[in-house]
Amino acid sequence: MLAGLSEILSVLALVGFSAVALWLLARPNARMAVLMPAPRLLTLSAAATALWCAALALFGPGSSQAFVVQTLRDLAMLAWLSATFWTAAAPMTRPQRLILRLLATICVVTLVFGAAAHWRAGAEAGAWITPALIVPAMIVAVGGLLIVDSGVRHASAGLRMPVMAVAGSFAMLWAYELNVQLIGALTGKRASTLITLLPALVLITLPTYVVAAMDIGRERMRLSRTAAMRTLILIGAAAYLVVIGLTGAIARLVGGDYAVFAQGASLVVALGAGGLLIVSPRARAWLSVMISKHFFEHRYDYRTEWMRFTATLGQGAKGDGGEDDRNLYRRVAKALAELTGSPGALLMLPTAAGGFGVAEQWHWPVDVASDDATLPLRSAFMLQETRHIVDLDAQRRGSASEDLASDDLAMPDWLLSDPRAWVVVPILHFQRMIAVVVLHRPPVSRSLDWEDLDVLRIAGQQAASYLAESQSQEALSEARRFDEFNRRFAFIMHDIKNLASQIGLLARNAERHADKPEFRADMVETLKISAGRLSDLLVRLSPRARGAAADAARVFIEPILNDIAAEARPRRTLFVGCQTGLAAWGDAASVRQVVQHLVANAIDASTDDTPVQVIAVTEHGRVRIDVIDQGSGMTRSFVREELFKPFVSTKDNGFGLGAFEALQIAQAMGGAIDVDSEPGKGSNFTLWLPLADARDGAGIDTPIMKVAS
């Protein structure tokens, strides 16, 4: 069954490599030269591989004929490697040239010897030629792997994806063949199953040629950290299995009970190593450092680390360990610590006494007293000016950077004496230091390099933007609270001014009319009303915000207008006209306040001998209250651009807040204020309010006007 499968795979590989060879041959040489340094040699390698696949299909894997044709394939592959990785500007070294010439000579001799033997002995030559061809094949495989390794290391900076993929397929093919021959040499038996599956491996290498033929992948191939780590794990597992197999084979050759001992020792080593990695965080950290140092070009997987960093800063729920991560300062400390593999971090903020004090920690309780855990003002100033990331180990050794002496930073004693403290990172926002983060020493301590410094500096700037935005939001919220209080107080001052004017007028009139009983009655009523308004002003200073419908209810307009007319009687007689039973939907105190303001402005804007009218009717399903005077009036531009703006007034001692507040209150009840005014002809202020009867689903059919004066 395996033999039939091997034959089918060999035919498929023959068809695939033949098609790729023809495709590469048909590609313009200039275009392929952009991608492949030696395009014709790659075409030759594909053609030689197709010829070898034909030998596998006709004579079977492991046959002497396949070994002979394999030398042609190896020659083409070596020629492409030498032309691809070495140029006239960067030639081979002398040992590399010697190895390449030795391999080429072995291939040529094997090809000539094998062809001559088959030509003279025919089919009977396979029985004695095959063992003789195994050793040269193993030598060529070992030499080919050396050439691939040295070539990749020599030209790694300029490698592109197709080049690396093709070279990797060569290495995989030679490594598989070498492994098969080594197993046969050590065990004394041919690994027939592995030899039979050789065409399957050849098919696996075919896509690398297809990638080259499609002229794609102009960028260097880069595996993600996750894929690379999993590949290393799989390679390690495969290496472990190979070692186990070789150990067992050697034990069988030696004899005795060494096989059982080898199996037991291997199991103990495997379980011990696995258990150590599972139990010990230090062992895992050490392995991670070693892999990052020796297998990757950069220490950090920047894409993954940056996504995790920003996710940690942005999250506001509970963390993985159940701790509350809604505190932004703790999240900043956590994000910077996780970035460098630190198990904990401290975050320091500016203090009122100067310098910086510990304000938040992540998995690092501070042992010293809170008053002592501070960064002096001098150190904070130097960190802000130099933007220096401090390696505390270097500070302890007295070997700080040449451009910044350790004495200049003056790190506090409590920080230098704590062996857990590893790095001090200033959090700078536009050259202003808003926080300082102290990172805990990682399980496997190491010195900082340029990559650590760059990552911490950029991450610190990103964290600073989050902290600065948060602090700005807090300051804005506090400013809004103060602004709300100031606005309320300004409105109160405006109303107090009106009350003071009313009481002052009452006092002046009392000098002339105090002996009249009617005046004394009006004076008492006016004083009661003024006292009630002062009480209302105190209530309005409370922090409860006025809502659009906080106290919304049916409000009858006529009683409100009559009360306002009674209050204004000492200053001016109002002509009030109100539709009978007219009711608005809103807050009674708010309606009263708006109409009072409009009436007070109308009285102030008109002379003593001119009337002021207040008329309330329904119109278009809404309540309309008109306050009409024949005073000085206003220009259209003033009404349009300045009337309802705060702190703009036509009065000499006015605050400019009455019209603004009246409009705000009316809009909060779902109403509006319109103004029609002309200079010298007076003004008409119209207050629109929701109609209570319309809200209840009923209308007023017969408007009856009631007039009072």
For residue 232, what pLDDT is reported? 64
How far is the C-alpha of 453 from the C-alpha of 175, rounded, in Å? 41
Rounded to an integer, what is the distance from CA 225 to the centroid of its chain?
A: 19
- 460, 568: one domain: no
- 335, 206: one domain: no
User: Picking from 392-401, 565-574, 582-591, which range would have the lowest pLDDT averaged per residue?
Assistant: 392-401
Rounded to an integer, what is the distance from CA 55 to the centroid of its chain?
A: 57
Q: Is 704 helix (H, G, I), strand (E, B) or coil?
A: coil
In a domain, 238, yes or no: no
Res. 3: pLDDT tops 50: yes
How far is the C-alpha of 217 from the C-alpha of 445, rounded, in Å? 40
Res. 354: pLDDT tops 60: yes
User: pLDDT: is 79 or 30 the higher one?
Assistant: 79
- 575, 670: one domain: yes
In a domain, 536, yes or no: no
Res. 243: pLDDT tops 80: no
For residue 224, what pLDDT is reported? 60
For residue 188, what pLDDT is reported? 65
Whether the Cβ atoms of residue 47 and residue 217 lie closer than 8 Å to each other = no
- 58, 153: one domain: yes
Where is mean pLDDT largest: 66-70, 113-117, 123-127, 515-519? 66-70
Residue-wise pLDDT for 387-437, tens only, equals: 889 989 888 887 544 444 445 667 888 888 888 999 999 999 988 899 999
User: pLDDT: is 421 or 490 the higher one?
Assistant: 421
Whether the Cβ atoms of residue 388 and residue 382 lie closer than 8 Å to each other = yes
Characterize the bridge pairing of strands 705-708 and 432-440: unpaired
User: pLDDT: is 141 or 405 the higher one?
Assistant: 141
In a domain, 397, yes or no: yes
User: pLDDT: is 656 or 530 the higher one?
Assistant: 530
Mean pLDDT, all residues of the chain: 77
- 72, 215: one domain: yes
User: pLDDT: is 211 or 433 the higher one?
Assistant: 433
- Average pLDDT value for residue range 60-81: 88
- Please report how many Cα atoms fall inside a 13 Å half-sphere around the Cα of residue 548, on the Cβ side: 7
For residue 427, what pLDDT is reported? 94
- Average pLDDT value for residue range 197-222: 70
pLDDT bin (cut points 50, 70, 90) of residue 42 is confident
The strand order across the sheet containing 682-690 reads: 672-678, 682-690, 622-629, 612-619, 574-579, 705-708
- 451, 577: one domain: no
Alpha helices in 255-354 (DSSP H): 258-279, 281-295, 302-314, 328-340
User: pLDDT: is 58 or 294 the higher one?
Assistant: 58
- 315, 202: one domain: no
Number of domains in the chain: 3
User: pLDDT: is 510 or 121 the higher one?
Assistant: 510
pLDDT bin (cut points 50, 70, 90) of residue 674 is very high
DSSP assignment letter at 318:
B
Where is mean pLDDT largest: 189-203, 665-679, 691-705? 665-679
Q: Which two tokens stand for residue 623?
A: 């309540």
DSSP codes of every residue in 289-310: HHHHHHH-SSSS-HHHHHHHHH
Last residue of a domain, one of 221, 251, 266: 221
In a domain, 598, yes or no: yes
Q: Which two tokens stand for residue 427?
A: 């959090």
CATH code for the domain of 360 = 3.30.450.40
User: pLDDT: is 316 or 587 the higher one?
Assistant: 587
In a domain, 661, yes or no: yes
User: pLDDT: is 20 or 402 the higher one?
Assistant: 20
User: pLDDT: is 345 or 150 the higher one?
Assistant: 345
How far is the C-alpha of 571 from the C-alpha of 627, rounded, in Å? 16
Q: What is the 3-state secondary structure (H, E, C) of 408-434?
A: HHCCCHHHHCCCCEEEEEEEEECCEEE
- 160, 46: one domain: yes
Res. 651: pLDDT tops 70: no
Q: Which two tokens stand for residue 88?
A: 């006239």
- 75, 162: one domain: yes
- Average pLDDT value for residue range 560-579: 87
For residue 699, what pLDDT is reported? 43
- 420, 565: one domain: no
- Average pLDDT value for residue range 454-464: 91
User: pLDDT: is 17 or 87 the higher one?
Assistant: 17
- 464, 557: one domain: no
Res. 614: pLDDT tops 90: yes
- Average pLDDT value for residue range 377-389: 85
Res. 35: pLDDT tops 80: no
Res. 371: pLDDT tops 70: no
User: Picking from 59-63, 92-96, 215-219, 601-605, which range would have the lowest pLDDT averaged per residue?
Assistant: 215-219
- Average pLDDT value for residue range 500-520: 76
pLDDT bin (cut points 50, 70, 90) of residue 672 is very high
In a domain, 585, yes or no: yes
Counting residues of the chain whose pLDDT is more than 90, the rounded percentage is: 18
Rg of the chain in Å (alpha carbons): 46
Res. 462: pLDDT tops 70: yes
In one-letter notation, the amino acid at residue 659 is A
Res. 616: pLDDT tops 90: yes
How far is the C-alpha of 77 from the C-alpha of 84, rounded, in Å? 11
Rounded to an integer, what is the distance from CA 305 to the centroid of its chain?
A: 10
For residue 703, what pLDDT is reported? 45
User: pLDDT: is 573 or 688 the higher one?
Assistant: 688
Residue with tokens 């794990």: 233
Last residue of a domain, one of 196, 221, 246: 221
User: Picking from 3-12, 42-51, 245-254, which range would have the lowest pLDDT averaged per residue?
Assistant: 245-254
Res. 549: pLDDT tops 60: no
User: Picking from 222-231, 518-527, 624-633, 667-676, which range would have the lowest pLDDT averaged per residue?
Assistant: 222-231
In a domain, 296, yes or no: no
Q: What share of the chain is helix, strand, coil (3-state, %, to 5)?
A: 65, 10, 25
Res. 256: pLDDT tops 60: no
Q: Which two tokens stand for residue 605?
A: 């804007």
Phi, psi of 93 (to 5 degrees): -80, 165
Whether the Cβ atoms of residue 56 and residue 10 lie closer than 8 Å to each other = yes
CATH code for the domain of 600 = 3.30.565.10
Q: At how many degrees (to 10) do helices 225-254 and 281-295 cross? A: 100
- 451, 584: one domain: no
For residue 541, what pLDDT is reported? 58
For residue 619, what pLDDT is reported? 92
pLDDT bin (cut points 50, 70, 90) of residue 687 is very high
Where is mean pLDDT largest: 37-46, 86-95, 583-592? 583-592
CATH code for the domain of 21 = 1.20.1070
User: Picking from 49-58, 354-363, 495-504, which range would have the lowest pLDDT averaged per residue?
Assistant: 495-504
- Average pLDDT value for residue range 605-612: 86
In a domain, 256, yes or no: no
Res. 157: pLDDT tops 60: no
Last residue of a domain, one of 197, 221, 245: 221
For residue 240, what pLDDT is reported? 66
- Average pLDDT value for residue range 574-592: 91
The parent domain of residue 343 ranges over 308-469
